[in-house]
Structure 1
Amino acid sequence: MSRVRTLFLLLTVVTALYVIMTLTSVARRSGIFQPVHSSVARSDIDVARDGESTHIGGSVLYKVCHDVWNPKARFQIGKLPTSRRNECSCGEGAYESISKDYYTRRKKELEEWKRYEERKKEPFVVNTAFSPLSYPGSGLVVEPGMTIPIAPLYLHPTALECLRYGFHNNDIMINLTCSRTLGRIYLSLNLHAYKLSTSTEVFGNNTHSLQIILKSTDDVINFLLSHIHYLSVYYDIFARDVISVKVQNFTSEINVLIKRSTMPILYDPGPDDDIAGKVTIVTKTFERRQSIENLVKSIRKYYRHVTIVIADDSENPSPIHGDNIKYYIMPFAEGWFAGRNLVISQVRTKYFLWVDDDFEFTARTNLQKFINKLEDAEERLDVVAGVFENRKGKTIRSDKIYKTINVVEGDESGDCLIRNLGSHRTLKNYPRCYRSDIVINFFMAKTLSVKRIGFDPEYSRVGHTEFFIDGLGQLSVAICFDVTVKHARYKPEKYLFYRRRQNDPENLNKSVEHTLFKNNLKCFALH
């Protein structure tokens, strides 16, 4: 039995060898395989020592060296395709422009805005395959007038092998040039001290163009590359330079960002780390004296020492006095966003809480929960809102209280903006919170983040979505259902008279035209 098994195994091995030999023969005839070594190893290099000639003897190594150092062997990146801007539409019921005479003015302003924004865009960097050189495509940041090493900058070991064993018989040339001449390039190395002056020549040191010529193919190349620096000589708080690098036939580009560092702006919460040192409550009131009194009273029930800032543009204002209450009187009917700018300008804490004047705090108006989310390093929120509860204390749940914004690129007539109900996603660490673009007028925000956006005083009677449109892409917004405030609606006749004016044709058209111009829109739809 064992004899039969041995014969069977022998027959199997012979058959397998025959199949392998047949396939190999076919592959060679078809050109799939070439009779070369299967890997690049030291044995692939036929090198004669002791003064004898040096040459490359391995076919695979020669092919690799050819692909590495021959620029024609690399895949060339052509002009990248760009998306064509087509005319867009907002659908039925959308707000569109009535007059077209502002298009010329808007086009001029838009071109200026684009020039400024273009400077901030990250450069598109393509790192080629079979690159003999390791280099930073982007990410180099230098202060104006300061120096930064161009690192990492070194040749791959395989590329060095090619040079060392004669793939290029001429001198090795390294060229670095500042394409935009915003800086200088220099070699921070004393060649005499390292006994390199006889084998290395340097031209244009500390100029816009540096050239290094090596007459030797020893291990000094990467040592020299590690001592090349960039010096910013053109002052600007934000500019970009491009360093063109050429080693033999290989060329690449390194992007350098010249940027002035910003100073931190820190808010001191106080030695007690109390909520009063972190949050200021702000609101604007208009012709609702009873409401603002009820709001202040409810705040003081739960937060006795938190500062309250109030802006009042009523016709006959009657200030509220008390500890940590700042009451500012504005010109009559000056407007909502003007009032918001006023109260925000007086905030001295890291966060502020915006409330309408007809809100009332309850036991579920927990401001610490807002703070916890704003200080969550993973979520990185700028604005976090709560929800309403009615007079009976029941939470009002509706997808109408949070919305998303979709902007569709259009042609020269402008883009199309559509506001939709709902949210983008649930917050990872807070299952009762949702990322959105627009929330209700009960939110806590980072003071610095909102000050960068501001409130456009052009919106005097109409204005809520408009603030979040201005903050799109700059403010990270969420709404959470674990913090509530009572909405004690109160609408006296005088208040209603001016509130209804927001819907009169003249005021509405003015607001629409302003939004279309400012945000370069052809139309917008508010669903």
Structure 2
Amino acid sequence: MHSLLKTVLLALVASVVLLMAVLHSWPTRAYSTVDVRQRPGSGAERLLEDRLPDLDPSAGSIPYHVKENVAGLLARNGCVCEGERDGVNLPFAKLLFPRVSAHPLHTAFQPSQLDEMKRRRAKEYQGFQMRSQTPADLLIVAEANSPLQYPTQGVEVRPLKTILIPGLALRDLPRDVYTLNFSASLGTFNVAAEVEGVKVRGDGEMHMTLSSFLLPNLNRQLQFITYTNTLFHPSTADTVQLETEGHQALFTIKIRHGVTPKLYNTGSGDKEYNISALVTIATKTFLRYNKLQDLIDSIRLYYPTVTIVIADDSENPRVVSGPYIEHYIMPFGKGWFAGRNLAVSQVTTKYVLWVDDDFIFTANTKLEKLVDILEKTTLDLVGGAVREATGYTSTYRQTISIEAGEEDGDCLHMRRGFHHIIQGFPNCVVTDGVINFFLARTDKVRQVGFDPRLARVAHLEFFIDGLGSLHVGSCDDVIVNHATKIKLPWGQSESDKAYAKFRYPPASSDATRTKNGLLYFKNRFQCMTHN
């Protein structure tokens, strides 16, 4: 009994000591509750709306003349997809004179589903806007003749850290006492040093006031104003309000973590590129093992040690092996974009070269040229050209633009062409979409990703998803050959027939409806036009 009591007392003492140690090591900073469902600092919107300068009432009576050629360039309150009428029906007219066609995307759904689909899409879009927008996106208009000097951009703080606010000053005004008020919603103000003759009230709070009889002393104090972020968010912005008698100013402080670099040690020298250390070739195959082997053989003629990653969703997969070959088996018919995701996920080099499994490398397939332009520019992805057996060569350059719409969604417009030629690379241009033969920064491709719901018909959807984050180029002097697809019916193998059945579904198929449905719901487009 005595032994049991002693054991209990020892356990009790140990528990008390452990509890005291935990309490001693517990962080002393008070944690506040933040509603991450909304954008922090959203009250700044109302503040900015109240402060936007009103139009001079007398301006309404001043006549003006609209310049249609300029005004027509401005965004409208809605958008419409309009196609071009068919012209004269001549042989090869569509190839020689391509016309713009328009397609509504809501037809991917049954009429009975459409209202519910619109409601769900609107709800998802509202959530997307809340996650993607910050007060740094709001319009701030600097009012005229303000004596306040303040930073208009470039102020940034890491979450829960402190910075000095640069560029603050008050210009001379005829007054007895100079007063300056600071307000914020996601952080507090303080002074890193105290200047004689300046009174500070509210230091360490979201609202702070400085006052002084001496303007030089006040301006000296403004050099030591600090801002500390107190409400954690990994990427947002705080709107700071600066006010003196009769004058106000607003500026934003970005709150975000620094971008963590992902660097690749290629081990290559400065004189020439080590393609094997820089590039991995990725492809997706389905049934066509003879063409895949032709691709591998052609690659090895020019790049014997470059790693080739193969994603394979054939029903009865065959072994594909050899030096520097990685073959990954997927569930049968898993799909085109799912295979791209799998292949790219296994790449460990700085760049990934995407090729179709029926391409053939030649002496014109100079990967060094594609590497060179990515190394020397800000491009994220650069496409080459594909030469058909007929001799026709295509880059499939596409410009992609989005016209803002209203509740029905935006309008997607795709056109053949490019934006401008790249200086120093006369065969290369900047565009938005390219052919299925491109070299890209591996991290950027993973960032955009390939929607695995696009199983059989997809390509430009990747570039649509990447619009705004992918900087795309195209060079027509790096060429890969395309194995011929022109075969008479009696010359087709069983694998050719099976492949064609999966690869080229009719326009009314589930694959096409899935593609249009994703454009409608996921990307919030109401329609698209293309030529």
TM-score range, shorter chain: 0.7 to 0.9
Quote the residue 1:154 is aligned against: 169
**Cα distance in 2, alignment partners of residues 183 and 120 from structure 1:** 14
Query: CA deviation digits over 1:112-140, x for unaligned, max 9?
Result: 11112222753323233322222102321
CA separation of 1:79 and 1:206: change in aligned 2, threshold 3 A: farther
Deviation at 1:87, TM superposition (A): 4.7
Task: Note the C-alpha offset of 1:280.
Answer: 0.2
* AA in 2 matched with 1:343: A
In 2: Cα distance, 1:372 partner to 1:153 partner: 44
CA distance in 1, matches of 2:451, 2:430: 24
| Residue identity in the other structure for 1:117 | S
* Residue 190 (structure 2) aligns with: 186
Following the alignment from structure 1 to structure 2, what is the Cα–Cα distance between the partners of residues 83 and 526?
19
Superimposed CA distance per residue, residues 421-440 of structure 1 (whole angstroms, 9 cap, x where no aligned partner): 12122222212112221111
1:433 touches 1:481 (CA, 8 Å); kept in 2?
A: yes
SS of residue in 2 equivalent to 1:340: helix
5+ residue gaps, structure 2: 1-50, 57-73, 84-100, 486-491
Match of 1:262 in 2: 259
Post-superposition offset of 1:221: 2.2
Which deviations, in whole Å up to 9, do the C-alpha atoms of 1:260-317 show, x marking residues without a partner? 1231111121366621111000001111111000000111110011100001111221
The CA deviation at 1:76 is 7.2
**SS of corresponding position for 2:298:** helix
Equivalence for 1:225:
222
Query: d(CA) in 1 for partners of 2:219 and 2:136?
Result: 32
1:467 aligns with 2:485: no
In structure 1, what is the equivalent of residue 482 of structure 2? 487
Q: What's the CA shift string for 1:159-216, capped at 9, x where partnerless?
A: 2xxx4xxx21x322122122x1x1111122244xxxx2xx332211221121122133
Alpha-carbon distance change, 475 to 502 in structure 1, aligned in 2, over 3 angstroms: farther
Q: Does the 8 Å CA contact 1:236/1:260 hold for their aligned counterparts?
A: no
SS in 1 for 2:341: helix
Q: Which amino acid aligns with 2:431?
A: S
In the alignment, the residues of structure 2 paired with residue 510 and residue 209 of structure 1 have an alpha-carbon distance, to the nearest angstrom, of 53
TM-score, with structure 1 as normaliser = 0.77
Superposition CA RMSD, Å: 2.3
Paired residue type of 1:478: G
- Alignment partner, residue 105 of structure 1: 120
Which secondary structure does the structure 1 equivalent of 2:134 belong to? Answer: helix
Matched, 1:174 2:174: no
Q: Look up the match of 1:8.
A: none
C-alpha distance after superposition, 1:4-50 (max 9, x if no partner): xxxxxxxxxxxxxxxxxxxxxxxxxxxxxxxxxxxxxxxxxxxxxxx
Distance in 2 (alpha carbons) for counterparts of 1:433 and 1:278: 21
Q: Is the 8 A contact 1:351 1:447 kept in 2?
A: yes
| Residues 410-454 of structure 1: per-residue CA shift (max 9 Å, x gap) | 221111212211212222221211222111101000111110110
- Give 2:341's aligned amino acid: N
Counterpart amino acid of 1:249? G
Tell me, in whole angstroms, the C-alpha distance in 2 between the residues paired with 1:501 and 1:276. 37
2: CA distance, partners of 1:264 / 1:77 = 42
Question: Which of the numbers 430, 436, 441 marks the counterpart of 2:431?
Answer: 436
Q: Does 1:130 align with 2:122?
A: no
Change (3 A) 1:320 1:119: same
Q: In the TM superposition, what is the alpha-carbon distance from 1:502 to its structure 2 partner?
A: 5.4
> Helix, strand or coil for the counterpart of 2:81?
coil
The one-letter code matched in structure 2 to 1:213 is: S
Helix, strand or coil for the counterpart of 2:352? strand
Tell me the residue number matched to 2:237: 240
Mapped partners of 1:475, 1:427: distance in 2: 16
Equivalent position to 2:212, from 207, 211, 214:
214
AA aligned to 2:264 is Y
> What corresponds to 1:205 in structure 2?
203
Q: Name the CA distance, whole Å, in 2 between partners of 1:383 and 1:473.
A: 13
User: SS in structure 2 opposite 1:308?
Assistant: strand
Please report how far the alpha carbon of residue 244 of structure 1 lies from its aligned counterpart in structure 2 after TM superposition. Answer: 1.5
CA deviations 1:26-84 (Å, max 9, x no partner) are xxxxxxxxxxxxxxxxxxxxxxxxxxxxxxxxxxxxxxxxxxxxxxxxx972389x966
Cα separation, partners in 2 of 1:521 and 1:90, compared to 1, 3 Å: farther
For 2:413 and 2:145, how far apart are their aligned partners in 1?
Answer: 46
Please, which moves more after superposition, 450-459 or 253-262? 253-262
1:524 aligns with 2:528: yes
Could you tell me whether the CA contact under 8 Å between 1:90 and 1:523 is conserved in 2? no
Q: Counterpart of 2:372?
A: 372
Q: Which amino acid is 1:320 matched to?
A: V
Deviation digits for residues 316-359 of structure 1, max 9, x if unmatched?
21121111100011111111001001000000011000000000
Who is 2:66 aligned against?
none
Contact 1:184 1:207 in 2 (8 A): yes
Deviation at 1:108, TM superposition (A): 0.6
1:78 aligns with 2:72: no
Partner residue in 2 for 1:252? 249
TM superposition shift of 1:508 = 1.8
- Structure 1 unmatched ranges of 5 or more: 1-74
TM-score (norm 2): 0.76
Q: Does 1:507 align with 2:511?
A: yes
Matched-pair contact (CA < 8 Å) for 2:136–2:254: no
How many residues end up aligned between the 2 structures? Answer: 429
In the other structure, the counterpart of 1:323 is 323
Which protein is bigger by CA-based radius of gyration? 1
Partner of 1:145: 160
Which segment is superposed worse, 83-92 or 322-331? 83-92
> What is aligned with 1:352?
352
| Separation of aligned partners in 2, 1:208 and 1:422 | 52
SS at the partner of 1:410? strand
- Asked if 1 retains the 8 angstrom alpha-carbon contact of 2:182 and 2:209, the reply is yes
User: Secondary structure of 1:331's partner?
Assistant: coil
Is the CA contact (8 Å cut-off) linking 1:155 and 1:222 kept in structure 2?
yes
Q: Compared with structure 1, are the counterparts of its residues 253 and 504 closer, same or farther at alpha carbon in structure 2 (3 Å cutoff)?
A: closer
Q: 2-side partners of 1:174 and 1:295: how far apart?
A: 71
1:96 aligns with 2:105: yes
How far apart in 2 are the matches of 1:215 and 1:419?
Answer: 63
SS of 2:137's equivalent in the other structure is coil
- 1:130–1:87 Cα change, 3 Å: closer
- Say whether the 8 Å CA contact 2:282–2:310 is kept in structure 1: yes
| Structure 2 match to 1:445 | 440
Q: Distance in 2 between matches of 1:382 and 1:512?
A: 27
**Rounded Cα–Cα distance in structure 1 between residues aligned with 2:259 and 2:394:** 41
> Does the 8 Å CA contact 1:88/1:411 hold for their aligned counterparts?
no
Deviates more, 1:477-486 or 1:117-126: 117-126
Greater CA drift, 86-95 or 238-247 = 86-95
2:134 alignment partner in structure 1: 119
Q: Match of 1:386, SS?
A: strand
Deviation of 1:389 after TM superposition, in Å, equals 2.4
CA deviation profile, 1:214-270 (whole Å, cap 9, x unmatched): 1335x3222111111111111111122122212333221221111112311111213
Aligned residue for 2:500?
496
Distance in 1 between residues matched to 2:188 and 2:297, nearest whole Å: 65
Distance 1:171 1:414 in 2: 54
* More moved, 334-343 vs 486-495: 486-495
Corresponding residue of 1:381:
379
Contact 1:185 1:209 in 2 (8 A): yes
